[in-house]
Amino acid sequence: MMAIGIFDSGLGGLTVLDAVTKKMPAESFVYMGDNLHAPYGVRDSSKVYDLTIKCIERMWDEDCDLIILACNTASAAALKKIQEEWLPKNKRVLGVFVPLIESLTKRNWGDNSPPREVDVQNVALFATPSTVASRAFQRELAFRAIGVDVESQACGGLVDAIEDGDLILAEALVRSHVDALKRKMPQPQAAILGCTHYPLMEEIFRDALGKNVAVYSQANLVAESLLDYLDRHPNLSSNNKPKNIFITTGDPVIVSMRATQFLKRSVEFISA
């Protein structure tokens, strides 16, 4: 058996899983949520790195040779070190920033030409405190584009509210964070939902930002990018009858209930 791993600190990565399973129904997926330690967005980079590699190793036990870090905090704080210093040659770990920046700059990741001007100049980035502090999005964007002003808003409390299933609080927090961002950048042209939990509140973000702001949400972009990656690396595709496994470091009963609420279909987690 071979499966593709989707990892997140909690439940947000289910938005990515949902998109990739719809795009690739013939593939097998293993989803792992580190719900016991969620959210990662308030942790320092060394702790995020340690937690992430433990979960990656657990997913290797399920024959995941390719793993997507569907967690912006892990992608920002740990991915570079994982790829450069720790990962065995026969394994692949990819992040979620790449497809987003490809879409925003309209240039492929393999395009190593000098940075150039792009259509969007004013970009609002909504992300966790750790992702904002890492400046990973701005760093990757700067390799590909010039003249783009990125204003970041650390959305404290939002992941906790979503994980707790408190969508009334989550909506209030979204509107508060959008108001705070607009005080710094009154007229953003584009908004990045820089956490895989945030697409669960995408309609609220869109309403608060207004119809003139293009909202970039990661799930579908990651799915398109993964499909292209598997076309180029067919050896990493599943070679068995499709089967999805859900693993959590938290309480599987509670996590299953929350996941079912989010995806609006029955999801059953097992304990890590």
Model confidence over 7-42: pLDDT tens digits?
A: 999 999 999 999 999 999 989 999 999 999 998 988
* Domains by residue range for the chain, with CATH: 3-95+219-271 (3.40.50.1860), 98-218 (3.40.50.1860)
40-56, pLDDT tens digit by residue? 988 999 999 999 999 99
Supply the pLDDT for residue 263.
84
pLDDT confidence bin for 212, thresholds 50/70/90? very high
Residue 220 binned pLDDT confidence (cut-offs 50, 70, 90): confident
Mean pLDDT throughout 148-156? Answer: 96
Write down the catalytic residue from 55, 64, 155, 195: 195
The number of C-alpha atoms within 13 Å of 12 and in the hemisphere containing its C-beta is 33
| Active-site position among 55, 64, 71, 155 | 71
Looking at the chain, the whole-number percentage of residues with pLDDT higher than 70 is 98
Looking at every residue in the chain, the average pLDDT score rounds to 92
- Catalytic, 55? Answer no
- Looking at residue 102, its pLDDT comes to 85
pLDDT at 42: 87
Q: For residues 38 and 98, which has the higher predicted lDDT (pLDDT)?
A: 38
Cα separation, 232 vs 188, whole angstroms: 36
Pairing of strands 244-248, 3-8: unpaired
Q: Residue 200 pLDDT > 90, yes or no?
A: no
Q: What SS3 class is residue 74?
A: helix
195 carries an active-site annotation: yes
The pTM is what?
0.89
Expressed in angstroms, the distance from the first to the final Cα of the chain is 19
Three-state SS string over 167-236 comes to HHHHHHHHHHHHHHHHHHCCCCCEEEECCCCHHHHHHHHHHHHCCCCEEECHHHHHHHHHHHHHHHCHHH
CB crowding 132-142: b at 16 or more within 10 Å, else e: bbbebbeebbe
pLDDT at position 2 = 83
Please determine, for residue 242, whether its predicted confidence score (pLDDT) is greater than 90. no
